[in-house]
Chain A
């Protein structure tokens, strides 16, 4: 199936959970509501016409402009995006799922936004979600073992957030 057919099938089945989509860009994507992620992923993996058996990558992208002068020129509101690159070895098609999250849950600074984990569907998501949690600060609900993976366990902050500030020191070691 090509990307248009996949997106049409998903729109038929999940209706308003599919928020936006784009098939003209380099990697066709569709944006889904955060609360529908697990259900849609299960369908994508198990449906005989879809069979997305290979999860390539989970990446987090932080959209916020720390510089107030430049922030005025941006055409988006601050948010976080998760990208899931999926493909099917059997049918040889691919799609990108996009989930838009608030930067902080309920707007409270320090409370990580939450989305359901897909580690039970694709075990490879286990480490990828840990990495996104570690570096971008997204909590994955239902993850079997949500710990930091690249940074030390007691590291403070999430380095790939655009407004992250490097600490002065770590256990007496100068960082900056």
Chain B
């Protein structure tokens, strides 16, 4: 029988592809920890993403109901283990809010220094592993080499490289060691030289731009509705940073500091330096590239903040602050406070019934909210873009699962 010639379009429709469920994780290198994603795919196109979390749940909140606030500080280290200082700060300030405790200026500047250093360290891991997700190994080594120097500085300050427990209610656990400021300044100078290299291998690299620009676009309305915060929110062009917009207790910490919120505003980023690479024409506000770019510029801002903090610290005498006693009784009441951690707004709540042990502690994780938006922004993307989108959110599962 002779074959009939059919409409080529019809042939296209005749070839049916079945929907396929793909399980990604919990052991998968590009899910940044024990995150499991169930992807529903139609050929190469992802039609639905369902994240499953909880693999790293360690009952931190339940433990907090059994021990005193100072004893709980090490548990906060293990939430966002890439930014332990910022986690300590959030919890310490929440309890200080409940106790109405003010800390001396000298301790305030030390806090700014270590928190901003930790912000750089966290953003370096984000940038390095993001390059790794997209198949580029070199930036990973550059980033970890620099991060290592920050960890060395922290080791000098408190003896620990990852879980610091350095910032406590009432101040910090100890003053900076002699000569530390010089070593910190040396690191900043070295790091400043590396930033253009990082921009060359990542930010303005053509392959990197093609993989990230226009991928996983998050509109500002969606970001706010999903409670996104940090670079994820600012990458969508929302000028919101708790260091400027937070509660008075948080903004007081950064009083007299000169810095800008990194977000695209009226079509351009703050231009305090002229060596930032330009925004590529393919990039759409709110895409993975912008989220990455915000982190990179925030590193530069953090350098500025650390320099200011070092000058202020040298210019002020006085006590470094006395940590509260382990068995200090808490006043009756509730306090909730959010601080700007590298990955977003980290909130802690403490409910006290008047004893030394809190009745309830609560940790509001920024990554938890940032991750909840994945199913929204991954819908309709290509399978290969999933690591690019999840990586751009910069999640840490320790903080999500608590």
Chain A residues with a Cβ under 8 A of chain B: 25-27, 53-57, 59, 61-62, 83, 85, 89, 92, 96, 122-124, 126-127, 135, 148-152, 159-160
Give Cα A78–Cα B226 distance, bound, in whole angstroms.
33
Distance (Å) between the CB of A102 and the closest chain B CB? 18
Check if B224 sits within 8 Å of A152, measured CB to CB. Answer: no
In the complex the two chains form, is B351's CB within 8 Å of A122's CB? no
Name the one of B59, B335, B372 contacting A26, with C-beta atoms under 8 angstroms.
Answer: B335
Give the A-binding residues of B (Cβ under 8 A): 53-54, 57, 59, 61-62, 97-98, 224-227, 238, 240, 245, 333-336, 338, 345, 347, 349, 351, 359-360, 362, 364, 368-369, 372, 376, 401-402
Given contact pairs A56-B347, A124-B226, A135-B61, A27 touches B335 in the complex (Cβ within 8 A): yes
Question: 11 A-B pairs, CB-CB below 8 angstroms?
Answer: A26-B334, A53-B224, A54-B224, A55-B227, A56-B227, A56-B364, A83-B349, A122-B227, A124-B225, A124-B369, A159-B59
Residues of A within 8 A of B224 (CB): 53-54, 89
Assess A25 versus B334: contact at CB under 8 Å? Given A123-B225, A160-B62: yes
Interface contacts beyond A123-B372, A148-B54, A150-B401: sample of 5 additional A-B pairs, CB < 8 Å, sorted by A: A26-B98, A54-B224, A56-B227, A59-B364, A160-B360
- Number of A-B residue pairs with CB-CB distance less than 8 Å in the complex they form: 80
B362 contacts across to A, CB distance below 8 A: 57, 59
Residues of B within 8 A of A85 (CB): 336, 347, 349, 364
In the complex, chain A residues whose CB is within 8 Å of the CB of B336: 26-27, 56-57, 83, 85, 96
Contact residues in A for B227 (Cβ distance below 8 Å): 54-56, 122, 124
Given contacts A61-B360, A92-B245, contact A159 B225 (CB under 8 A): no
Q: Which residues of A contact B240 (CB under 8 A)?
A: 89
Q: Is the CB of B338 within 8 A of A160?
A: no
Within 8 Å CB of B61, what residues of A? 135, 160
